[in-house]
Amino acid sequence: MSRPAIAHIRLDAFRHNYRVAKQMHGGKALAVIKANAYGHGAVQCAKAIENEADGFAVACLEEALQLRLAGIKNSILLLEGFFEAAELPEIVANDLWLVVHAQWQVEILLAAKLAKPVHVWLKMDSGMHRVGLSPSGYIQAYSRLNGHPNVAKVVLMSHFANADTLSSEHTTQQIALFQQTVQNLGVVDVSLANSAAILGWPQARANWSRPGIMLYGADPLYDAKTPLRAVMQLTSQIISIRKITKGESIGYGSIFTAEKETLVGVVACGYADGYPRSAMGAPAAVEGKKTRIIGRVSMDMLFVDLTDIQTANIGSTVELWGDQILANDVAKAAGTIAYELFCNTKRVQFRYSDN
């Protein structure tokens, strides 16, 4: 018998979510599978939609090469472009697309000797103030890149800081600044929307979208009605059960003390698996019945309250997130976001299915 902590990755749900994203936004969609597909397995996720995906987006050359090595032929965009000039030959040889987000990248790209022109996504800083060229630098960079022998095509892009907050004026301002800046360029290839914008900001639609988190089934707007399916189901089993009486406490720091007789289950999953140590009182489901995490999450184990779950026994399945327990809800209890939970999932057995 082996440790029962398992991340079930349902590739059919991933494909479903890609179709939802693409259909909601319209136009073409780059499936964002950076950081090992947000912890889900980049090669497996890419293979699941390679016949229909308009392209993929990853953070860097190393991530793209992993996909090429696995036989992925679709277009692949490097979301941070290159970090040094020495990457350019391999980028060109592997037919990768480049984000250009800074002036130093423009200079290197224009000065390089390339075997073939490269496809550029030119990123504007419309208000996120992380990367991207300022509007005035943007127009200049565009006019230098467009038509240059090293450049095959230029797609205009920008990224939102607050698209997950529907009440924020910031997104409206970013869209307005972007549109005002590019209005005279006459370019039709534009990409603004991440998942939150696809779901909440129809004004941000253009011919390309860049869905990430929604492909994994977590709605960044926390709208349970969005027709997404959880891709990762993290489960484990109960390995020990004890009854504690009123006044007794459990685990490190004794942070949970029973107010009445309490049946406690110990689950084989802990923060070394990526389950957040800060998730106090987070929901979990035992044999399909909802309960909550009690006490402190430790490295290899955590506690669930079994008091109201009569059927629970050694070996009972516990869903930590997945279909019944939204990763969003666990993230909320831990003061983080589902993105981080998925990216941190490790050590558990990854099992893939595709129905």
Ligand X SMILES: *Cc1c(COP(=O)(O)O)cnc(C)c1O
Residues within the interface to ligand X (CB under 6 A): 32, 34, 79, 159, 194-196, 210-213, 220
The nearest distance, CB 331 to ligand X, in angstroms, is 13
Catalytic residue among 34, 216, 271, 339: 34
Cβ-based neighbours of 222, under 8 Å, separated by 6 or more: 328
- Based on CB atoms, which residue is closest to ligand X, 15 or 210? 210
Task: Tokens 């698209």: give the residue.
Answer: 163
The nearest distance, CB 154 to ligand X, in angstroms, is 16
- Based on CB atoms, which residue is closest to ligand X, 22 or 159? 159
Element of type H or E holding 151: strand 151-158
The helix/strand/coil state of 224 is coil
- Based on CB atoms, which residue is closest to ligand X, 163 or 312? 163
To the query of whether residue 222 is one of the catalytic residues in this protein, the response is no
Phi-psi region of 127 (alpha: psi -120 to 50; beta: other; left: phi over 0): left
The nearest distance, CB 351 to ligand X, in angstroms, is 24
**AA identity, residue 176:** A
**AA identity, residue 178:** F
**Which residue's Cβ lies closest to ligand X?**
212
Rg of the Cα trace of the chain?
23
- Cα 244 to Cα 65, 268, 289, distances in angstroms: 53, 19, 21
Task: Tokens 């360029």: give the residue.
Answer: 185
Q: Are 290 and 341 a contacting pair, CB within 8 Å?
A: no
The nearest distance, CB 308 to ligand X, in angstroms, is 36
Catalytic residue among 116, 246, 252, 290: 252
Pairing of strands 76-78, 262-267: unpaired
- Based on CB atoms, which residue is closest to ligand X, 32 or 267? 32
The nearest distance, CB 315 to ligand X, in angstroms, is 36
- Based on CB atoms, which residue is closest to ligand X, 80 or 319? 80
What is the rounded CA–CA span in Å between residue 46 and residue 49? 6
What is the rounded CA–CA span in Å between residue 105 and residue 68? 24
To the query of whether residue 252 is one of the catalytic residues in this protein, the response is yes
Length of the chain: 355
The nearest distance, CB 34 to ligand X, in angstroms, is 6
CB neighbours (10 Å) of residue 103? 13
- Based on CB atoms, which residue is closest to ligand X, 89 or 202? 202
Cβ-based neighbours of 64, under 8 Å, separated by 6 or more: 58, 76, 78, 94, 96
What is the rounded CA–CA span in Å between residue 215 and residue 212? 6
Residue numbers annotated as active site: 34, 252
